[in-house]
Amino acid sequence: MIAEIGLAALWLAAALAVLELLGGFLGARDENNELTALVRPAAVMQGVLCGVSFLALVYLFAVTDLSVKLVAANSHSMKPLAFKLSGAWANHEGSMLLWITVMALAGGLIAFIERRLPEKTMMATLGTQAFVGLGFYLFILLASNPFERLSPVPADGNGLNPLLQDMGVSFHPPTLYIGYVGLSVAFSFALGALLTRQVTPEFARVMRPWVLGSWIFLTIGITAGSYWAYYELGWGGWWFWDPVENASLMPWLAATALLHSASVLAARDALRTWTIMLGVVAFSMSMVGTFLVRSGILTSVHAFAVDPERGSFILALLALYIGGALVVFAMRANTIAEGQRFALLSREGALVVNNVALSAILGIVLLGTLYPLLTEAFDVRVSVGPPYFNPVSAIFFLPMLVVLAVGPLLRWRTDNFARIKWPVIAIGVASLVALAVVLVFFDTSVLSLLGMGLSIGVAVASFLPLKGRAIRRVPLAVWGMCIAHFGVALALFGVAADTAFQKERLVAVSPGDTVEVGPWEATLASVSPVAGPNWTAMQGDIFVSYQGGEQTETLPQARSFWAPPGETSEVALVTRWNGQLYVALGNMAEDGRWQLRLWWKPFVTWIWYGGLLIALGGCLALVGRVVSDLRRRKAEQREEAMRTEEAELASA
Amino acid sequence: MMSGLKPKHQRLVLVVVALVALVGAGLLAALALRDQASYFYVPADIAADPPAPGQAIRLGGMVENGSITTAADGVTVQFVVQDGQARVPVSYSGIVPSLFVEGSGVVAEGSMNANGVFIADNLLAKHDENYMPRELEGMTSAELREELQETVE
């Protein structure tokens, strides 16, 4: 029954999307059309219905209703409840339902609260949102129904891939999806503004919180995903340039660029066409990512289903939406009037460089990700990894950091170098000193060296915009920028330091043996079997101490799951402020010794602290912008009220 | 500075700057991809056209029966990957995946050394014990290649 309710709600939502689509585009031509009044309610109801549908699926997973095919295929009665719940979206059908639910909720939210734009623009925006949503409704209802029943009912489910039985999974996909799909709103706003010729600073101000919100979720999602891969996959790496990781990085790069160009449009009424283009590109990258992950073209932890039919369906949607948006863009771009002019040396100029560099990195990542698919068409199998991505993206990333450091010091419209000479010298000196210290005392690669030097410079630079301001009066959005930029510096330092200084030991030891890795000593006390709810494991009991200090007990495990069968390595982590010790237990060698893999990773945690600071900066900026928008709106209303009052008085 | 230019010119300059950067990135990417992409080999490919020592490649094939030996350090394994036509000795230091057993399929990432030994940095075995049944051992390299595509990612 619950499954049928979920499915019915989804069909109803799809029907409402048709209504919203029609009403939206008719309303965009003539706002007095009868259907116009129905558009906003239709959008809001869709959000509600999708929410019902998604909750129905979560409920089915919670009670392990094995008569539902998806539950039987992906869940197991013995699984802990938290993983039963997250199992609802750790599969193809469920994740697509999550996608459309987020999309419908976002659409409902803009329909409900957004009243600043001209009604025609809003109608075109909501119509576009419904048009995009409709494709995904059809995809779910026709090609990936999560509520399909199964007969006969099996005795128990197949269980969930052991790698996915982790708290990271409860958190990571919903966060990323909110980010991906939140960008659909930016896409719809961009097309709405383009179709009704309303590419104005007001449009940028309305779109910005949505971009910012999606970007925050993407940032958190990528950071969490990176940490999850780091401790769960047991390889000690935090970024693999895996196609699926790239699929989340590409929308983030586009959203970062969009965020900055929308700021230019909102503040200075420049970069109009470019902002629209980025709005289209950002969500297109979300869809490309979904296509890569969901089509089965790639096989990895993330590719749940290998199904060419679904792949072609998503590819068709992709072609329709991206192609359609680009056609509209090509036809309308020349009707957008030139924005305000600015000098090369100005805040706008710096943001243009930032945007171009981000776009270039996006292109590089996209090409590298798609290249194996291209060569496969010629029957040549290749894989593209760090030797390509690291140096090639660094060529654009390092100059971008310089601009990131200097840009916020510049004034809008035009500036002269003499004014910012001293801060720039300070940043340069900080970078060079750091560079010299690393160069003299350590032997590192060029990229790590530059990374460390620049990260110090950026760290200093990130707080320079506060100089000369009354600290209490600094707007929240400026604090947000400073903190986010500092987060970039922190993450970069973590990346460079970990790459340059990490120490690795791989040994086979008997109980009682001690190994050294960097400043750490590790002693294996024993290895014993342990059992969990749906796994058994060998657990090492290892005492570690930093520079001969106090001993800490660590308990890494090699786990074996039985439903479905599989093995994972549960690593033990010892975190200090200046890095992390990473202990993985391997197999027993023939002579009874145990394999241990130990890493000392200096400053590695700074990568994720940096990521979180970037997200925190985004949150501050978002709160600051929304609060000041509300204030402005209130002031306008008060003025309006006063004017009406005066008019009434005058007429009396 | 640009503010001296007519509006139309500024837009043009911006477009040109963006295009130059993007095309530059594209060219750079294309060049780097040609050099840095790591190609997939089966032992027969290596016998026919050996890759340069040190060049990153992926090697896929079957672990020859009776070929796995563990070195005295307890963490280095040596084995032979074969595809029915050729054999390549492989050396790997690390924790081998649980599904890595003799007679099963494997994909190794790494490079050939000067002595014709493949030094693996990473071993991939599919997380599914039904993957590649033993009966398939005698298949041709083309069939093998097809089978192995599953394991490559």
**Residue A99 is assigned to a structural domain of this protein:** yes
Say if CB B60 and CB B106 are below 8 A apart: yes
B39 and A381 in contact by Cβ < 8 A? Answer: yes
Q: Does B121 touch chain A (CB under 8 A)?
A: no
Nearest to A101 by CA among A46, A153, A154, A173: A46
| pLDDT > 70: percent of chain A | 96
In the numeric block, the tokens 């909750």 are attached to: A55
To the nearest whole angstrom, how far is the Cα of A623 from the nearest Cα of chain B? Answer: 32
**Given A109, A139, A160, which residue is the final one in a domain?**
A160
Q: Which domain holds residue A91?
A: 1-160
Q: How far is B92 from chain A (nearest CA, A)?
A: 12
A387/B56 Cβ within 8 A: yes
CB < 8 Å to A569, chain B? 95
Chains A and B: how many Cβ contacts under 8 Å? 142
Residue among A397, A587, A597 with most chain B CBs within 10 A, to mutate = A587
Q: Give me the tens of pLDDT residue by residue for chain B, a chain 153 residues long.
A: 444 455 557 778 888 888 999 999 999 999 999 888 888 888 988 999 889 898 888 888 888 888 999 888 888 999 999 888 889 999 999 888 777 888 777 888 899 999 999 999 988 765 433 333 223 334 444 555 555 554 443
Nearest to B33 among A367, A566, A593 (CB): A367
In sequence order, the β-bridge partners of residue A178 are none
Q: Per-residue confidence at A115, pLDDT binned at 50, 70, 90?
A: confident
What angle (nearest 5°) sits at the alpha carbon of residue A595, between those of residues A589 and A597?
A: 160
Which residues on chain A are in Cβ contact (under 8 Å) with B129? 565
Token pair for residue A248? 């989340």
A384 and B149 within 8 Å at the Cβ level: the answer is: no
Domain-ending residue, one of A113, A139, A160: A160
* Residue A11 maps to a domain: yes
Based on the structure, what is the number of domains in chain A? 2
Q: What is the pTM of this model?
A: 0.90
**pLDDT tens digits, residue range A9-18?**
999 999 999 9
Q: What is the pLDDT of residue A296?
A: 58
> Contact A593/A566 with Cβ under 8 angstroms?
no
Nearest one of A313, A242, A324, A245 to A283, comparing CA atoms: A324
- The DSSP element (H or E) to which B63 belongs, if any, is strand B57-63
* Torsional class of B125: left (φ above 0), alpha (ψ -120 to 50), beta (otherwise): beta
Residues 52-81 of B with CB under 8 A from A: 56, 58, 70, 73-75
How confident is residue A578, by pLDDT bands cut at 50, 70 and 90?
Answer: very high
- A111: alpha, beta or left? (left if phi > 0; alpha if psi -120 to 50): alpha
In a domain, A117, yes or no: yes
Residue with tokens 């590298």: A368
According to the model, what pLDDT value does residue A144 have? Answer: 87
Partners of B37 on chain A (C-beta within 8 Å) are 371-372, 375, 382-384, 388
Q: How far is CA A509 from CA A581, B94, B96, in A?
A: 18, 14, 16
- Residue in B8, B32, B73 closest to A392 by CB: B32
Residue B134: its pLDDT value, please? Answer: 29
Comparing alpha-carbon positions, the chain A residue that sits nearest to B16 is A356
Per CB-CB distance under 8 Å, the chain B contacts of A508 are 73-75
Return d(Cα A331, Cα A323) in angstroms, integer: 12
Q: End of a domain among A160, A181, A210?
A: A160
**Residue A400 within any structural domain of the chain:** no
Peptide bond into A564 cis (omega under 30): yes
pLDDT confidence of residue B84:
81
Chain centre to alpha carbon of residue A313: 24
Cα separation, A601 vs A603, in Å, equals 6
Higher-pLDDT residue of A634 and A166 is A634
Q: Which residues in chain A are closer than 8 Å to B152, comparing Cβ atoms?
A: 299, 381, 383
- Rounded distance between C-alpha atoms, residue A4 and residue A434, angstroms: 63
CB contact, 8 Å: B3 with chain A?
yes
Look at A356 and B18 and tell me if their CB atoms are within 8 Å: yes
A207 in a domain, yes or no? no
The answer to whether residue A385 scores a pLDDT higher than 90 is: no
H helices within B37-136, ranges in order?
43-48
The answer to whether A135 and A317 have CB atoms below 8 angstroms apart is yes
In degrees rounded to 5, what are phi and psi of residue B133?
A: -65, 155
The most confident of the ranges A95-104, A564-573, B92-101 is: A95-104
If you average pLDDT over every residue of chain A, what do you get? 89
In A7-35, which positions are buried (b, 16+ CB within 10 angstroms) versus exposed (e)?
bebbebbbebbebbbbbbbbbbeeeebeb
Is residue A25 within 8 A of residue A71, CB to CB? The reply is no
Out of B24, B37, B129, whose CB is closest to A382?
Answer: B37
CA distance A125 to A116: 13
In-domain check, residue A215: no
* Cβ distance of B129 and A298 shorter than 8 Å: no
Is-cis flag, bond preceding B97, omega within 30? no
A466-482 mean pLDDT: 90
Distance separating alpha carbons of residues A578 and A605, to the nearest angstrom: 8
| A385 contacts B21? CB cut-off 8 A | no
Give me the residues paired with residue A552 across strands: A544
More reliable by pLDDT, A129 or A418: A129
Q: Do A506 and B17 touch (CB under 8 A)?
A: no
Pairing outcome for strands A514-517 and A520-531: antiparallel
User: Which of A234, A344, A382 faces B2 most closely, judged by CB atoms?
Assistant: A344
Res B74: pLDDT:
86
Distances (CA, A) of A269 to A91, A282, B7, B32, B134: 44, 21, 13, 38, 67
Tell me what pLDDT residue A297 has.
62
Closest CA to A286 of A261, A328, A327, A258: A258
Contact A382 B40 (CB under 8 A): yes
Question: What tens digit of pLDDT does each residue of A244-301 get?
Answer: 889 999 999 999 999 999 999 999 998 999 999 999 999 999 998 887 877 656 544 3
In this structure, is residue A598 part of a structural domain? yes
Q: Specify the range with the lowest mean pLDDT, choosing from A49-58, A373-382, B34-43.
A: A373-382
The rounded percent of chain A whose pLDDT value lies above 90 is: 61
**Structure tokens belonging to residue A290:** 């979904």
Average pLDDT over residues A188-192: 96
Amino acid at A467: K
Whether A56 is in a domain gets the answer yes
Q: What is the pLDDT of residue A143?
A: 87
A355 to chain B: nearest residue by CA? B18
Q: What distance in Å separates residue A458's CA from the closest CA in chain B?
A: 23
